[in-house]
Structure 1
Amino acid sequence: MRNILNRKFTLSLAAVCLSATTALAGEMISYTTNQDIDDVIFGLENAILDEGLVIDSTSHVGDMLERTRADVGSDVILFDKAEVYSFCSAKLSRKVMEADPMNIVFCPYDIFVATLAGKEDETIIGYRSFPDGPMKEVEVLLDSIVQSAIGE
């Protein structure tokens, strides 16, 4: 009997983990522009500040990947430049977490800006999509910031 209960528990736990992974897996929403990446970054920083938000951190992903490329045994150059800007909105974060405290998993919010190696004339800017429900309001904010950054 104990074996049957353990097996049912394990199967139930696996189902919960699978559904959680599916719910959290977001698609990327991105825009490509022929603007120089430094201009897009300047626009992004201003768009975030114009919303009354504070940039918590900037992750220099491109620099890190290039710096560690040889250390991990790769000769592939991925980006000419790639940055991720993290920030939060106290008002909006409170709203979505009052709806579901587990929306904490999505905070802070991130927007990336990158140029792929060999494609310096194209800058990509975007963010991760969010699940249906209250988090879609955050997605609307991120989309507004991204479009403002590239002048759309």
Structure 2
Amino acid sequence: MVAFVPATASEHLPAITPSPSRRRGACLRLGVGLLSAVLTLFQPAAADPGIVTREIAGAAFEDVAFALSDAIAAEGIGNISTSHFSDMLKRTAPDLGHPPELFADARIYTFCSARAAARLSIESPHHIALCPLSIAVYRIQADSKIIHLGYRHSAATSGGAEVDALLERIVRRTVDTLR
């Protein structure tokens, strides 16, 4: 084991040369580390740790969307707003120059739980920016047989954990309804 020695005292110590086996081990560790770093760069965007997604195969998009609305209402939450995200992208593609068919279907359901909003706001008034909550239901054009449900993690607080639990219950209830 090599200990740290201040520069002024190092003049009095003999040079330490690692053995060939230690150099090979160090090179191997460096190579594995570099490979890990490179592979991390090429992970798909869906691997974002702030986004939770679930896949549903073998269901119709409208059935999943209806089950999601019901699951939100089952939590006692009203005033659900629906954004037709894929329609908006198709409509704006000619003006903005993006591909019009990024999604086969995509909707975002936004809603507010008064209990969750109050809890988050008590923790910090700035948490107002975390409301409303949203869950997306979408089919990607490249694989339109799979329907995805996705939501963002909330704040890293106890109130945020309650919000995450609420969102997970809604998604789980949606999936369970379709079985």
Normalised-by-shorter TM-score class: 0.7 to 0.9
Q: Which runs of 4+ in 1 moved over 3 A?
A: none
CA distance in 1, matches of 2:80, 2:145: 28
Letter matched to residue 79 of structure 1? F
**1:110 pairs with 2:130:** no
| Bigger relative CO (Cα 8 Å, ≥ 6 apart) | 1
Of structures 1 and 2, the larger Rg is shown by: 2
CA distance in 2, matches of 1:75, 1:58: 22
Alignment partner, residue 32 of structure 1: 55
CA distance in 2, matches of 1:88, 1:73: 34
Unaligned runs of 5+ in 1: 1-24
Percent of aligned positions with the same letter in both sequences? 33
> What's the offset of the Cα at 1:135?
0.9
Q: Name the SS of the counterpart of 1:52 in structure 2.
A: coil
> What's the offset of the Cα at 1:76?
4.9
* Length-normalised TM-score, structure 2: 0.67
Matches within 5 A, 1:115-134: 115-133=139-157, 134=159
CA distance in 2, matches of 1:26, 1:103: 20
Letter matched to residue 107 of structure 1? C
RMSD of Structure 2 on Structure 1 (CA): 1.7
**1:57 pairs with 2:81:** yes
* Aligned partners of 1:29 and 1:128 also within 8 Å: yes
Q: 1:90 aligns with which of 104, 111, 114?
A: 114
Alignment partner, residue 125 of structure 2: 101
Unaligned runs of 5+ in 2: 1-47
Q: Number of aligned pairs?
A: 128
CA distance in 1, matches of 2:97, 2:77: 39
* Length-normalised TM-score, structure 1: 0.78
Alignment partner, residue 142 of structure 1: 167
